[in-house]
Chains A and B, each alone.
Chain A
Amino acid sequence: MSSAEVLGQADLPSSGPPTSDSTPRRGRLNPLARYLLVRLALIIPMMWVLVTLVFVLMRVIGDPIQAAQGGRLQPDQIAERKAEAGLDRPLLTQYFEYLGGILRGDFGTTLTDNREVSDILVQNGAATLELTVYALIVAFAVGVPLGRLAARHRDRFPDVVLRLGAILVYAAPVFFVGLLLKLAFTPFGWPSSGRASTSTELALSRAEGETHIMLLDAILHGSPAMVLDVLQHAVLPAVALGLLTGGVFLRLVRVNLLQTLRADYVTAARARGVSEKRVVRKHAFRTALVPVVTVMGMQIAMLLAGAILTETTFEWKGIGYELSEYLVARDFLAVQGIVTLIALIVGVTSFLIDVIVALVDPRVRF
């Protein structure tokens, strides 16, 4: 093969065109490390912008005490309350104190019940995490296989039904779906509020080493009845929230799969005699997942917003439930703290999503 070896020199990357898309990258940093550092560098200012925005809106334009108590208290009483909460000091001082607090994990104290906002994260965060995970499981189980099905039968019966279904699911607010589920299932005695029966909850809260993750606690407690009870309570909220996200996943998977099925490398795989099933499964599906995962990162925000409504509907005592309670109580210091907390959660999850993208897509890794 001497001639080919000689001629092979012509298109070595070193002598080839030095454009970034045709040459292997010659960065000084490991590409994966560089990618993650860039993402991190982008996410930190993003979180800073968010918490600053919350501060500006709530403190500079608005005034939590005035907003909560205006009209109910005399002006001098309001001033007194403000001084108590330290809200009469210069804004810049307050701002730096607020930022410092966030760095220390201190998100302030509620007005109504003098609770540390960070305690809400500890006590109610697990419930929200649990609900989100259940909903994600439902969303994946519904969205991904059905999206594939719709793409494979493009413009034929299953596709039409599934697409209309996905739009319908999207059009129904999660609290309305929740309400319908309640209407449908309460007559059969299916639990439709709270995370577990009162007895289970009591037993678990007394148990040693409580994780606040109800399912885990029940398993650790070793009582199959309690595990079943917890799971039963989770079904309706998980379905309500999961369907919403599942509809989005379905459409995403469908569109991306349709586009990758037209890609040249899919035709190339067919031209190699690879079976159609394998073409879809091994070639189209994995590349189609890359944008799906990216968009999924953006869906986290939607999922969290949905969680607030779902928790309120099913009295699921997570962060969102607490938030809506404090909203009703007009406790805007609590609201500010919780909103800040959620901003941080959004930032951290979008970074985690970037890590997942890197794992799925070798173009990022190498």
Chain B
Amino acid sequence: MSITALRVPAVVRQSHGLQRFMLLFGFALMAMFIVVAVFAPWIAPYDFDAVRDAEGVRFGTQQAPSAAHWFGTTVGGHDVLSRVVFGARTAVEVILLAVVLSSLVGVPLGLVSGYLGGWLDRTLVLVMDALYSFPSLLLAIVVSIVLTGGQSSAFGGILAAAVSITVVFVPQYYRVVRNATLAVKSEPYVDAARVAGVRTPRILGRHVFSNVSQSLPVIATLNASEAILTLAGLGFLGFGIEPSAAAEWGYDLNKALPDAASGIWWTGTFPGLAIVLIVLGVTLVGESLNDILNPLLRTRGGDENDADEVAELVADDVPVQEARATADGERVAVLSLRDLSVSFRTDGAPVRAVREIGFDVAPGEVVAVVGESGSGKSVSSRAVMGLLPDTATVEGSAVLTTPGDEPRELIGARASDLRSVRGDEVSMVFQEPSTALNPVRTIGWQIVEGIRAHRDVSVAEARKRAVELLEMVGMPDPAERVDHYPHQLSGGQKQRVVIAMAIACDPDVIIADEPTTALDVTVQASILELLLSLRDRLGTAIVLITHNMGVVADVADRVVVMYRGSIVEQAPVDRLFAAPAHAYTRALLDAVPHLGRENGPSPVVDSEVVLDVDRLVVDFPGGFGRPTFRAVDDVSLQVRRGEVLGLVGESGSGKSTIGRTTVGLQQPTSGSVSVSGQQVSGVSDAKLRPQRRKFGFVFQDPAASLNPRMSVGDCLAEPLRTQTDLAEREVRAKVRQLLDDVQLPGDYEGRFPHELSGGQRQRVSLARALALDPDLLIADEPTSALDVSVQARVLEVFRELQERLQFACLFISHDLAVVDSLANRVAVLQHGRLVEVGPRADVLGSPQEEYTQRLIGAVPVPDPVEQRRRRAERSASL
């Protein structure tokens, strides 16, 4: 509980309303009991086992409350008030001891077991799970019998009770800490520390424990309340503290039980109330802490850091002007937005996500809404559908005009009116098909539900229609698949189901929110094709929200560009790409890498081989009853000094596994990996440690690749402190120089990762990987979580450093255009096998293998003319 005390002010500041009241009330109750416990001898009128007053006169048994005995006397002739007061002392002592003892045992066990894994972990999990599943009271009884030998002894006091309870709660600490350790262990920043050769105890302390420890106050308080209840239960069954040793509420309640039948209420009610109040206090604190600290239950303001970085790109002198909708064509818009604004209430200041935007969508038209993260493109479409959370305030107008109906205003419409529009006239396709489908219902059930929400048809008819729809979206075996659950389908198939639902009621408008972002390029191509063919056949208007300029060039008729909540430009697609009017649009288009038009470096010749991967095979065991999964299958490749090898492939092709194996984060099943002539694979961790200074690793997720509790300076210094004997002054100088290398100001040293934007974090990550001047750098999708303009900046920094430092680099990416812009050579991977490897211009320019051709053909380039040509070519060949 001392941990809690330290964090109190911050926690109280984070709370509000009822939460704060509960927290403060809980603290007040806890404080009251602690005061009573400490000053018990002065507060209580008599000793806890006294039966006579100062004059030696007996109190008498079962006396009703009076001036001499405020709470009356017990069946044994004790003063109830005194016993309740001294009981508080017993309770507080036992809880403190139990919480301290059980965390002292449970926390280290959980840390070590979770981090090291192996047989130790499996054994501990088995034992702890067994203990956990067992009724805690029984366990405490058994331990208590063993400890006290079943007889009165000096040991039968507070310590014995505390130890009995400790055994019960060790598994809980263990489980929580182990699970948290497992979660933290797989975070990239822990991998980064391992790659830098940091030793296990330090990783456990600096990286794992500091991040796990925030859950401890919650566990400690919640366990404390259970500890009191267990202690009282033990006492109630006659197995707690010996009645002669201390006053204990549970024991008193047991003695009071027969009194209840004869209407003597005071003997049981007061000790019982004392238990309720102390448990209430501790629980309220624990619950509110949990509520406040649980990020899942919090409302937060948006992350504006990235927007700031993008702002660097846009010339400040260009005013962000509102571009009005241009009247293209005579058709009546089916959906028309005017002056739409959205703001969110947050724990901090309100956030304005969308500012007075307006655009029209005509029937049969594809309007692409593009912008980077935080530009408000998704929020505006959800506002139209009335799907924003309660914290949002929406102003302005969105008018839906469908044939045969009066124009309808959607903003501020009644819930029932809006409901009849949703899915019927306007429907949505979501970004992540695996979360947009209910996992416990069949896909048929979900399609039928959508149909029957709007059409008065029987289940059988709706089901027939569902099968038709599945067939229409190109689902194989629709009659059978209709009864499948989502997890039985592949990602692309799930997205087809989501689209089938969207077209179930022949909507006039489909809002597709990043419909292909979660999918591989070849699947993306087929999904886009499907959307276009539906538009052609059904005349549906499509609002396509995307950040991918290639997709825009491929399918859009008109483009709306959003930046920080406003529309900066809207134009027909050809004009936008040929002559962008706004500075932001120009910056955006410049930042997009263009596959086939990049002039990346030529192959490096005659330099020594740095990374040599020879016939590498990596298997993952499939678990009980499942086949082994071969992630990497007989892959050989080499990277030379000064060379960048782009390793490309779709998800699950094994490219990340190769990257992890080359730095010893994953052991190969067979084959070998060596760096600068030294074997890396199959080497013990201790032997590998001195080798680690030869390679660096940049991870994909900028949010997770830096330890949130370490400053930027500490992050950068860690590999230096681990691997070199540099003096502190030299370390600091090197850190400054690294920051300078990645073009960050020197005072960023003292900042914490959450104060940085995604792009800045990724630059710090790059600096950390280069801290030891490695021979080899592995970059695993270093920019795929970033917006294009931010990506351009990071890649620029990367290119400059690579040219200067001449390290060998294995650059892993799914983005062929990015690889095209910076790799000397390219290797293409499919299902763990190497399909093709060679100089960049050859592999990406004139691919020999059918798979590479298909992959390249599926990547949409940011050029509408080129995309139209390709599309025409494709339909001609069919």
> Is the beta-carbon distance between A179 and B257 smaller than 8 angstroms?
yes
Q: Which residue of chain B is the closest to A315 with respect to CB atoms?
A: B257
| B565 in the interface (beta carbon within 8 A) | no
Q: Which residues in A have their C-beta under 8 angstroms from that of B256?
A: 179
> Is the beta-carbon distance between A301 and B133 smaller than 8 angstroms?
yes
Cα distance A350–B132 in the bound complex, in angstroms? 12
> Is the beta-carbon distance between B419 and A168 smaller than 8 angstroms?
no
> Is the beta-carbon distance between B440 and A286 smaller than 8 angstroms?
yes
| B61 in the interface (beta carbon within 8 A) | no
| A205 in the interface (beta carbon within 8 A) | no
| B201 in the interface (beta carbon within 8 A) | no
Q: Which residue of chain A is the closest to B264 with respect to CB atoms?
A: A183
Q: Which residue of chain A is the closest to B492 with respect to CB atoms?
A: A11
Q: Which residues in A have their C-beta under 8 angstroms from that of B284?
A: 167
Cα distance A7–B821 in the bound complex, in angstroms? 29
Q: Give which listed residue, A1, A290, A305, contacts B135 with CB less than 8 A.
A: A305
> Is the beta-carbon distance between A176 and B276 smaller than 8 angstroms?
yes
> Is the beta-carbon distance between B489 and A182 smaller than 8 angstroms?
no
Known interface pairs A25-B626, A67-B145, A268-B428; A11-B422 also in contact (CB < 8 Å)? no
| B134 in the interface (beta carbon within 8 A) | yes
> Is the beta-carbon distance between A168 and B145 smaller than 8 angstroms?
no
Known interface pairs A18-B652, A308-B135; A362-B485 also in contact (CB < 8 Å)? yes
> Is the beta-carbon distance between A7 and B474 smaller than 8 angstroms?
yes
Cα distance A167–B475 in the bound complex, in angstroms? 50
Known interface pairs A37-B625, A192-B261, A330-B150; A265-B449 also in contact (CB < 8 Å)? no
Q: Which residue of chain A is the closest to B239 with respect to CB atoms?
A: A327
> Is the beta-carbon distance between B432 and A324 smaller than 8 angstroms?
no
Q: Which of B523-531, B690-698, B840-848 is found at the contact surface with chain A? A: B523-531
Q: Which of B96-104, B228-236, B740-748 is found at the contact surface with chain A? A: B228-236
> Is the beta-carbon distance between B490 and A16 smaller than 8 angstroms?
yes
> Is the beta-carbon distance between B449 and A282 smaller than 8 angstroms?
yes
Q: Give which listed residue, B143, B423, B526, B831, contacts A11 with CB less than 8 A.
A: B526
Distance between A52 CB and nearest chain B CB, rounded to angstroms: 9
Distance between B498 CB and nearest chain A CB, rounded to angstroms: 7
| A207 in the interface (beta carbon within 8 A) | no
Q: Which residues in B have their C-beta under 8 angstroms from that of A267?
A: 387, 430, 436
Which B797-856 residues have C-beta < 8 A from chain A? 831
| B686 in the interface (beta carbon within 8 A) | no
Known interface pairs A24-B488, A305-B233; A168-B133 also in contact (CB < 8 Å)? no
Distance between B679 CB and nearest chain A CB, rounded to angstroms: 29
> Is the beta-carbon distance between B269 and A180 smaller than 8 angstroms?
yes
Known interface pairs A287-B439, A309-B137; A54-B276 also in contact (CB < 8 Å)? no
Q: Which residues in A have their C-beta under 8 angstroms from that of B275?
A: 171-173, 176
Distance between A257 CB and nearest chain B CB, rounded to angstroms: 13
Cα distance A111–B95 in the bound complex, in angstroms? 34
> Is the beta-carbon distance between B280 and A7 smaller than 8 angstroms?
no
| A202 in the interface (beta carbon within 8 A) | no
Q: Which residues in A have their C-beta under 8 angstroms from that of B130?
A: 46-47, 49-50, 53
Q: Give which listed residue, A4, A46, A186, A298, contacts B472 with CB less than 8 A.
A: A4
| B493 in the interface (beta carbon within 8 A) | yes
> Is the beta-carbon distance between B143 and A57 smaller than 8 angstroms?
yes
Cα distance A347–B126 in the bound complex, in angstroms? 13
Which A289-339 residues have C-beta < 8 A from chain B? 290, 298, 301-302, 304-305, 308-309, 312-313, 323-324, 327-328, 330, 332, 335, 339
Distance between A117 CB and nearest chain B CB, rounded to angstroms: 15
Which B461-511 residues have C-beta < 8 A from chain A? 471-476, 485, 487-493, 496, 498, 501, 504
> Is the beta-carbon distance between A173 and B145 smaller than 8 angstroms?
no
> Is the beta-carbon distance between A264 and B149 smaller than 8 angstroms?
no
> Is the beta-carbon distance between A53 and B272 smaller than 8 angstroms?
no
> Is the beta-carbon distance between B472 and A37 smaller than 8 angstroms?
no
| A17 in the interface (beta carbon within 8 A) | yes
Q: Give which listed residue, A17, A269, A290, A302, contacts B650 with CB less than 8 A.
A: A17
Distance between B8 CB and nearest chain A CB, rounded to angstroms: 20
Q: Which of A102-110, A134-142, A271-279 is found at the contact surface with chain B? A: A271-279
> Is the beta-carbon distance between A23 and B279 smaller than 8 angstroms?
no
> Is the beta-carbon distance between A366 and B488 smaller than 8 angstroms?
yes
| B166 in the interface (beta carbon within 8 A) | no
Cα distance A46–B129 in the bound complex, in angstroms? 7
> Is the beta-carbon distance between B138 and A308 smaller than 8 angstroms?
yes
Q: Which residues in B have their C-beta under 8 angstroms from that of A332?
A: 145, 150
> Is the beta-carbon distance between A360 and B280 smaller than 8 angstroms?
no
| A74 in the interface (beta carbon within 8 A) | no
Known interface pairs A4-B533, A17-B652, A346-B133; A287-B287 also in contact (CB < 8 Å)? no
> Is the beta-carbon distance between B151 and A308 smaller than 8 angstroms?
no
Q: Which residues in A have their C-beta under 8 angstroms from that of B454?
A: 273
| B35 in the interface (beta carbon within 8 A) | no
Q: Which residues in A have their C-beta under 8 angstroms from that of B343?
A: none
Cα distance A54–B149 in the bound complex, in angstroms? 15
Q: Give which listed residue, B133, B151, B520, B522, contacts A350 with CB less than 8 A.
A: B133
Interface of A is mostly: helix
| A75 in the interface (beta carbon within 8 A) | no
> Is the beta-carbon distance between B261 and A46 smaller than 8 angstroms?
no
Cα distance A282–B432 in the bound complex, in angstroms? 21
Which B609-661 residues have C-beta < 8 A from chain A? 622, 624-627, 629, 650-653
> Is the beta-carbon distance between B135 and A13 smaller than 8 angstroms?
no
Known interface pairs A269-B438, A273-B450, A366-B488; A301-B134 also in contact (CB < 8 Å)? yes
Q: Which residue of chain A is the closest to B422 with respect to CB atoms?
A: A273
Q: Which residues in A have their C-beta under 8 angstroms from that of B151?
A: 67, 70-71
| B315 in the interface (beta carbon within 8 A) | no
Distance between B65 CB and nearest chain A CB, rounded to angstroms: 15
Q: Which of A58-66, A85-93, A215-223 is found at the contact surface with chain B? A: A58-66
Q: Which residues in A have their C-beta under 8 angstroms from that of B533?
A: 3-4
Which A140-174 residues have C-beta < 8 A from chain B? 155, 160, 164, 167-168, 170-173
> Is the beta-carbon distance between A271 and B18 smaller than 8 angstroms?
no
> Is the beta-carbon distance between A62 and B146 smaller than 8 angstroms?
yes
| B361 in the interface (beta carbon within 8 A) | no
Cα distance A6–B878 in the bound complex, in angstroms? 9
Q: Give which listed residue, A67, A278, A290, A342, contacts B150 with CB less than 8 A.
A: A67
| B265 in the interface (beta carbon within 8 A) | yes
Which A1-59 residues have C-beta < 8 A from chain B? 1-8, 10-13, 16-29, 34, 37-38, 41, 45-47, 49-50, 53-54, 57-58
Q: Which among A7, A21, A61, A71 has the greatest number of chain B C-beta atoms within 10 A?
A: A7
> Is the beta-carbon distance between B435 and A265 smaller than 8 angstroms?
yes
| A175 in the interface (beta carbon within 8 A) | yes
Q: Which residues in B have their C-beta under 8 angstroms from that of A224?
A: none
Known interface pairs A8-B476, A172-B275, A301-B134; A3-B501 also in contact (CB < 8 Å)? no
| A68 in the interface (beta carbon within 8 A) | yes
Q: Which residue of chain B is the closest to A343 with respect to CB atoms?
A: B134
> Is the beta-carbon distance between A27 and B142 smaller than 8 angstroms?
no
| B250 in the interface (beta carbon within 8 A) | yes
Distance between B143 CB and nearest chain A CB, rounded to angstroms: 7
Q: Which 5 A-B pairs have the closest CB atoms?
A: A11-B492, A17-B652, A67-B150, A4-B474, A8-B474
Contacts A/B (CB < 8 Å), 10 sampled = A5-B474, A10-B526, A11-B490, A17-B653, A61-B146, A67-B150, A183-B260, A264-B430, A305-B136, A362-B442
Residues of A within 8 A of B (CB): 1-8, 10-13, 16-29, 34, 37-38, 41, 45-47, 49-50, 53-54, 57-58, 61-62, 66-68, 70-71, 155, 160, 164, 167-168, 170-173, 175-176, 179-180, 182-183, 186-187, 192-193, 258-259, 263-265, 267-276, 278, 282-283, 286-287, 290, 298, 301-302, 304-305, 308-309, 312-313, 323-324, 327-328, 330, 332, 335, 339, 342-343, 346-347, 350, 360-363, 366
Residues of B within 8 A of A (CB): 17-18, 22, 126-127, 129-138, 141-143, 145-146, 149-151, 225, 229, 232-233, 236-239, 250, 253-254, 256-257, 260-261, 263, 265, 268-269, 272, 275-277, 279-280, 283-284, 287, 296-297, 385, 387, 415, 419-424, 427-428, 430, 432, 434-442, 446, 449-450, 453-454, 471-476, 485, 487-493, 496, 498, 501, 504, 519-520, 522-523, 525-526, 529-530, 533, 622, 624-627, 629, 650-653, 831, 875, 878
